Chain A
Amino acid sequence: MNAAPTTNATTADTARTADVSTTSADVSTTSATVAAPSTAVAATAGDAPITEIAVAPVEPRHRLHPLTPLLRGVHVLAIVIGIFSWQGYQQLGPLRWALGSAGVLVVASVLAAVSWYTTGYQVHGRELRISEGLLWRRTRAIPLERLQTVDVVRPLLARLTGVAELRLEVIGSYRAEAPLAYLSLPVASRLREHLLSLAGGRDGATAGPPAERIVHRVRNGRVLLAQLLTPHTWFVPLGLVVAVLPYRSQQGWNLVAVGSLLTAVLGVVQVPLRRIVDDWHFHIREDEAGLRLYHGLLSTRSQTVPRPRIQAIGVTWPLMWRPLGWLQARMDVAGYGAYDREAGKHASLLLPVADLRTAHPVLGAVLGAELLAPPLVPAPRRARWLAPLRYRLLAVGHDRELVYARDGWLVRRLVIAPLARAQSVRVVQGPIQRLLGLADVHVDTAGRLHVVGEHRDVDEAYALAATLASVARAARAREMGAHHRSASAATP
Chain B
Amino acid sequence: MTQAIALEPAPDTIAWRRVSGRLIVIEELQVLASTVVVVAANLAARLFVHNRVPLLVAGLAAAIGLVSAVVVLRSVRTWRYAERDDDLLVRHGLFLRKLSIVPYARMQFVDVTAGPLERAFGLATVTMHTAAAASDARVPGLRAAEAARLRDRLSSLGDTRSEGL
Contact = CB atoms under 8 A, between A and B. Distances in A.
B99 A446 contact: no
Interface string B75-109: 00000000000110000010111111111011000
B47 interface: no
Contact of A469 (B7, B95, B103, B134): B103
Contact of A459 (B6, B86, B105): B6
Contact of B9 (A428, A442, A466): A466
B120 interface: no
Contacts, number: 92
A462 B99 CA distance: 9
Nearest to A446: B131
B20 interface: no
Interface residues on B, range: 20 to 34
A70 interface: no
A480 B163 contact: yes
A118 interface: no
Q: Binding site of A, secondary structure by majority: helix, strand, loop or mixed? A: mixed
Contacts of B8: 462
Contacts of A269: none
A151 B160 CA distance: 33
Given A309-B165, A465-B9, A444 B101 contact: no
Q: Which of A427, A472, A476 has the most CB of B within 10 A?
A: A427
B106 A423 contact: yes
Interface string A384-427: 00000000000000000000000000000000000001111111
Contact of A462 (B9, B93, B106): B9
Contact of A424 (B6, B7, B130): B130
A361 interface: no
B155 interface: no
Interface string A279-312: 0000000000000000000000000000001010
Interface residues of A, number: 36
B125 interface: no
Contacts of B135: 423-424, 426, 444
Interface string B1-34: 1000011111000000000000000000000000
Nearest to A335: B165
Nearest to A472: B103
Interface in A414-452: 421-431, 434, 437, 439, 442, 444-447, 450
Contacts of B106: 422-424
Nearest to A483: B163
Contact of B101 (A426, A446, A459, A463): A426
B165 A465 contact: no
Contact of A434 (B9, B97, B101): B97
Nearest to B133: A444
15 contacts: A171-B165, A334-B131, A422-B106, A423-B130, A425-B101, A426-B98, A426-B99, A431-B96, A434-B97, A442-B134, A446-B130, A462-B99, A469-B87, A469-B101, A479-B163
